[in-house]
Amino acid sequence: MKHLITNIKELIGINSNPILIGSEMKELHTIKNAYLLIEDGLIADFGEMTALSETDYDKVTDASTSHVLPAWCDSHTHIVYAGNREQEFVDRINGLTYEEIANRGGGILNSAKKLQETDEEELYRQSAVRLEEVMQMGTGAIEIKSGYGLTTEAELKMLRVIKRLKENYPVTIKATFLGAHAIPAEYGKKRDKYIDLLIEEMLPQIADQKLADYIDVFCETGYFTVDETIKLMQAGKEYGLKSKLHVNQFTAIGGIRAAVEHGALSVDHLEVLLPEDIEMLTKGATIPVALPSCSYFLSIPYTPARELIDAQLPLALATDYNPGSTPSGNMNFVVATACIKMKLTPEEAINAATINGAAAMELSQTHGSIAKGKVANFIFTKDIPSYGYLPYSFGSNHIAQVMLQGEFI
């Protein structure tokens, strides 16, 4: 099946680098008045309209009112969860902090209780609604974490739901095991027993059933220590799982050094960064990932993304879609907020949300840019003046259509 898209106002994000580093992120290559040829769900060809040679196509679509860019690559989400935490949102408005709510048994443990009480079918149904929602907002590849189960049974349930979503939707999904998201209340005084459960009981079953691509740990004061994080990264590695870590969200306790030294794929959050953390990142290949919607929702600092890019590091942007700190999976808002609050240029923000997001999921050979052979995942915009209008005119929906694996969804 050959599908030709003609007269594209501007084709955006032409690039065959697997990741863009520092000042490279400023460049966003485009072709005005372009065509795009899609064959069997992949990009077969593209170029200027004037270079299009006459041949037969099965289908032709005129895109003369659209800018076309790669679908978003959201490398950090927790979209499999049960219910919501709307009450905690109101509690925060009334003066409690995220930390105070967590200390009262709210937060992650509240979501874990709800998830444990929800059957697998219902959990799948609620999660599929969120996945469909983010696809409509332009997301074509997504990472989804477990971590609201916190028992072997419930963590496996979450990961099976992710597997089913993978099988049933035309979106590329990577699964991450985040059993180390919080210490369940019943392990309060014997946290080592919970770490043993993660390593000796959960990990082997997850690996055996091939339910995860990565392992994650919430390395943070009050959650998991640096030593525990290292232990879990090493255990994951024995089962072939690289790590993607939650670090430096509220405090800088040394998680970044551990991540770089143990070859983590990404370090995510980074709202609180010390100069030595940035220095450490420049020595390794670990990708920093910023989550501006989380900063927005919790009123915590924004990741100093400008400093990271100016230190010649790559940066990826993701949503962190979850019930507690970021009940939003809108990558368009993430891109706009990165420009408005973190001083990224539109080019840097789009690159961070596409090719660098793909790199943070090891998907940049197939996703995240316009290049021959890559998966035909695109956002077709409404009739806007330029791609910079996407973050400028924040909060509006500028997407006319989304194409995933060569089909409009």
Q: What is the CA 403 to chain-centroid distance, rounded?
A: 19
Three-state helix/strand/coil letters over 249-292? CCCCCCHHHHHHHCCCCEEEECCCCCHHHHHHHCCCCCEEEECH
Check whether 3 is labelled as a binding-site residue. no
Pairing of strands 2-12, 67-70: parallel
Contact between 320 and ligand NIG by CB under 6 A: the answer reads yes
**Is 246 part of any known ligand binding site?**
yes
98 has binding-site annotation: no
Q: For residues 39-61, b (16+ Cβ closer than 10 Å) or e, as one string?
A: bebebbebeeeeeeeeeebeeeb
Binding-site string for Fe ion from residue 279 to residue 318, where x marks contact by CB under 5 A and - marks none: ----------------------------------------
Which residue, 20 or 289, is less far from ligand NIG as judged by CB? 289
CA distance 232 to 123: 27
User: Which residue, 72 or 218, has its beta carbon nearer to ligand NIG?
Assistant: 218
Return the residues of window 278-297 that contact ligand NIG according to CB under 6 A: 294
To ligand NIG, the closest distance from the beta carbon of 159 in angstroms equals: 17
The only residue of 13, 184, 236, 323 in contact with ligand NIG, by rule CB under 6 A:
323
Distance (Å, rounded) from C-alpha 377 to C-alpha 379? 7
Q: Is 216 in the site for Fe ion (CB under 5 A)?
A: no
Taking phi over 0 as left and psi of -120 to 50 as alpha, with beta for the rest, 35 belongs to beta
Q: Which does 107 bind (CB under 5 to 8 A by kind): ligand NIG, Fe ion, none?
A: ligand NIG
148 is in an annotated binding site: yes
The sign of the dihedral angle between the CA atoms of 137, 139, 145, 146 is positive
322 part of the interface to ligand NIG, by CB under 6 A: yes
Q: For ligand NIG, which residue of 77, 111, 126, 146 counts as binding (CB under 6 A)?
A: 111
List 88, 216, 220, 320, residue binding Fe ion (CB under 5 A): 320
d(CA 83, CA 237): 33
Nearest C-alpha neighbor of 377 from the set 406, 397, 352: 406
How many Cβ atoms sit within 10 Å of the Cβ of residue 157?
21
Q: Per the annotation, where are the binding residues?
A: 76, 78, 85, 148, 181, 246, 249, 320, 322, 324-325
Q: Per the annotation, where are the binding residues for 4-imidazolone-5-propanoate?
A: 85, 148, 181, 249, 325
Residues in touch with ligand NIG (CB under 6 A)? 107-108, 111, 218, 246, 249, 294, 320, 322-325
